[in-house]
Structure 1
Amino acid sequence: MSRSQIYPVYKVKLKLAIQDPDMPSTRYHTILFVQTNAQGPRSGIKHHVTGDIVTGMHYESAEYDDPETDENFFSKELIGHTRALNYPKNWNDTLKSIPAPPKQKAFNKVTMKTEPVKSWDPVTFYGPGEPRLPLIKCTEWIEDQAISTLINAGLIHGDMSV
């Protein structure tokens, strides 16, 4: 297969304006970037989940300029390559099949803060010191679900001879 028929796939991290106090470490908005244009300004399509964990998130793909020109750019890591054939339709179909992170927080009238929810019916919050389930956001969706699903579907390959 000739080089012109494959696109590089990157995991890109973008700085956040505000960190989530319920997440222990520095967080980034994590996306997959498929570089479809290598000539001139590098551009392509970003694949990610957007929204928040108070209302729920949803999958989105959109045209995207070179991530390194984004004012919030933090890092870009090559994770493999994808075939140009049927791209982006095959990616969108696959990624839409992965549930996006749902609502996981709500406003607690007792503490007057938005907090992780233990259960939804009825809405129950965690007590002080009670072990909590980890929150799932864009980074976990990309790193723990999207990448492995795309690899298993044969849509991301680790070498140039895809």
Structure 2
Amino acid sequence: MSTTAGYPVYRIENKMTMPDPDMPTPRYHNMIFIETWEDGYKSGRTYHVIGDMVTGMTYNTRIDQDPELDKMFVAKHLLGTINVSDYPDRVNEILEALPAPGKQKSFNVKTMRTEQHKSPGVFYEPGEERPPMVKCTEWTLNQAIPALVDSGVLIKLMEP
């Protein structure tokens, strides 16, 4: 259901299906949800990256029901609105252009475990500083939301 300003945009947090033991916890799957009511009460479209750090992640979008009905639902944060004219094409164009997190871990035959790597086959030495790994949360918070704001598509709520 659109308002005079457009569709409401939320950041959704869901429990992880399989938490990564190398990432701090608690950690949630983060995604953007635009509530349009196009497929029923409080339905809309989800925008996120899916996959893992061993195979890499890919951009994904889908029509979804009310996120609060998902058994993995944790939280819903209102970000602002988008104009009806920017949905879904302009939103998808912006988000599809962002790089999805790539492969960041692989199996190390020397240690017999999956570890963060510099590039596939080149592992960090013990004690060597490692950059933070990037997953859905970082993609959503540090890339997707800022890109939508910077483009003028996401009209953020006024700060109090």
Structure 1 unpaired stretches of 5+: none
Three-state SS of the structure 2 residue aligned to 1:24 is coil
CA drift at 1:4: 4.7
Residues 46-70 of structure 1 show CA distances to partners (whole Å, capped at 9, x for unaligned) of 0001111111111111001000000
CA drift at 1:3: 2.3
Residue of structure 2 equivalent to 1:149: 147
User: What amino acid is the match of 1:13?
Assistant: E
Report matched runs for 1:60-75 at 5 Å. Answer: 60-75=60-75
CA distance in 1: counterparts of 2:70 and 2:76, whole angstroms: 12
CA distance in 2: counterparts of 1:129 and 1:115, whole angstroms: 13
Residue of structure 1 equivalent to 2:11: 11
CA distance in 2: counterparts of 1:115 and 1:95, whole angstroms: 29
User: What amino acid is the match of 2:100?
Assistant: A
CA distance in 2: counterparts of 1:97 and 1:83, whole angstroms: 20
Residues 67-113 of structure 1 show CA distances to partners (whole Å, capped at 9, x for unaligned) of 00000001000011001114100011100110000111111111111
CA, structure 1 residues 25+97, in 2 after alignment: closer, same or farther (shift >3 Å)?
same
Given that residues 37 and 43 in structure 2 are in contact (C-alpha distance below 8 angstroms), is that contact kept between their aligned partners in structure 1? yes
User: What amino acid is the match of 1:18?
Assistant: M
User: What amino acid is the match of 1:144?
Assistant: N
Report matched runs for 1:95-106 at 5 Å. Answer: 95-106=95-106
User: TM-score, with normalisation over the residues of structure 1?
Assistant: 0.90
Three-state SS of the structure 1 residue aligned to 2:142 is helix
Select the residue among 122, 125, 128 that pairs with 1:127: 125
User: What amino acid is the match of 1:46?
Assistant: T
Residues 107-138 of structure 1 show CA distances to partners (whole Å, capped at 9, x for unaligned) of 11111111110234xx2111222211110000
User: What amino acid is the match of 1:153?
Assistant: S
Runs ≥4 in structure 1, deviation > 6 angstroms?
none
CA distance in 1: counterparts of 2:40 and 2:147, whole angstroms: 31
Structure 2 unpaired stretches of 5+: none
Query: How many aligned positions are there?
Result: 157
Residue of structure 1 equivalent to 2:82: 82
